[in-house]
Structure 1
């Protein structure tokens, strides 16, 4: 049958009628165009096919929406879990049938969905997605849903990062004050650090033990991942004897109670000076020039000491800076700079004497140096200090032959990293090397050679 009406068929529908001639009842055929029937049949057939295609067959994936559109858990501590609610909604009119689900991501799980599950048009279901990392690192993947979709399946993206639990550590892990004079106070700085991957909150910080105190920390205190906070622990004994105590930090970290041991001893006040060297050899220096050398002055006692006077003998020697009158706290070190600035040629010896309220005062340093003429020819050498331990000075060697036949110029090790050779001749070429010397007189290997041409 062609639908554009070139063919016309008739269906006979008999209805009763009375013949005017005979008065008898008979059936009269009724002619009905078949094109109306075809149109009705075509509409019914079309609707049936539509239902077959969209109701019990396949549907477009776009009719299924997720909220949130993907599950991003951010940072989750290893050994714990976090759950997100996910809403799946059928935005179409035709029912969707989810026949299966599978997870393609480590550490993730799904609950709340019983397959097969039918979601009618305009309705939704709520699922629970859980992330429970057992190791640190980034995890990502997807959850696959299969059903009557044109694509066969739909993927829902999931991601999360496993991080170390928040943990408190302290540097130093314990504090020992040694002996502190009664009536005085000694203090040390302690640094707290969150070594985990998530934040923590310190709820309390307490100290125990007679004479111990803490300052510089206010609670509650929040430390982000890797963040630090410094505070001060002090010890002020009121009587002689050993004392122990502790600092206790409470928080919501994986180690909720962190304890740091404290110790100290109350005793009589002591003050003592220890010098880094007992002698300084400045070597050669041109008249009118100067060369500085340092001496470390350490207070090895338990109470502060004061430098009251520095006495100097030997022409050309002096000190620089504000060392006189300086106060050196217990266990601390001050630098005294001694300067040799010769006014005349020749060898000079002397002494620098330190007077203080230390029990071993006075303390002295022997000094020696040689002034050389500034009008004659000279060669000045400079070098980098040796990084080896125990070095007390340097020997300087010279030769007129490259690489051989070196002669030592200084009779005793020079404390300085500078040497001026005033015994050179015009027009000559000289070759120099330097060695480092320890307290036993053992020399290092020779340095690289340098060449000096005197005009």
Structure 2
């Protein structure tokens, strides 16, 4: 074909594909003055894996976890997978034999096992070497080797019920696993809850226990919920103990009768009447004092201090023994920790 100077001519170059490989070459035009590079790409298989990342979570040292994945040929040509490489301590692969061939649209399932040798995070990968367009396909692996120490709490939850004053309960932590556990932190949350314990950290050998105190200081008439959180290097690194409790209504002290009239009493003699005080509230009442005023008045049978539980009553005597004629008046002032701290 002759091309005149400064003329343009088009032409077609034909290439017959003989093998499934990328091919490059040159076309020489004229007498070697012009060389055209030629590139030809064949349609090859494409290898993919689902999922492309495998997350094993926490696995006890000495134990194992198995996850499945699937290789697929998403191309239009056969793929030969010649070999596989696995990195990361504790990871291994099963379910495939190499070399293997996947036809277009075909797939093969395999399993990856994570059997950690030590505690801590372990990352790794699987590399599949094949004749696909991307010669090596990588699958990421992630897992954490966990302690074989297992921490349990007794009781597993605490209900303080309805309380009027500070209440304390003991709780025990036990290492039910096979490796030692270090307890690093014990803390309480929720209104009125607190913990008391020996200095941390604690190290508990397999089967060993340790106790600590949980207290509840209620607010009258309110309900509280919270928890105790224990942080350790056990398999379950954060252990929680749910807490509940309610504050009883405050103690209320009432008198019956509310007043005493002795009428006329002869000088030199005495008269007595019964007097009762009742705790009509929801919390204990502690009576600490009873002060009597007025000439000739006294009380008998009230041995202080006394504690009245909710609904409880106490009866004593009031005495009038006049020392002179005329009208006399007085009172009894009862001092307590009730909401009405002074009852007259």
TM-score normalised per structure 1: 0.35
Greater RCO, 1 or 2 (C-alpha within 8 Å, sep 6+): 2
- Could you say which structure has the higher helix fraction? 1
TM-score normalised per structure 2: 0.44
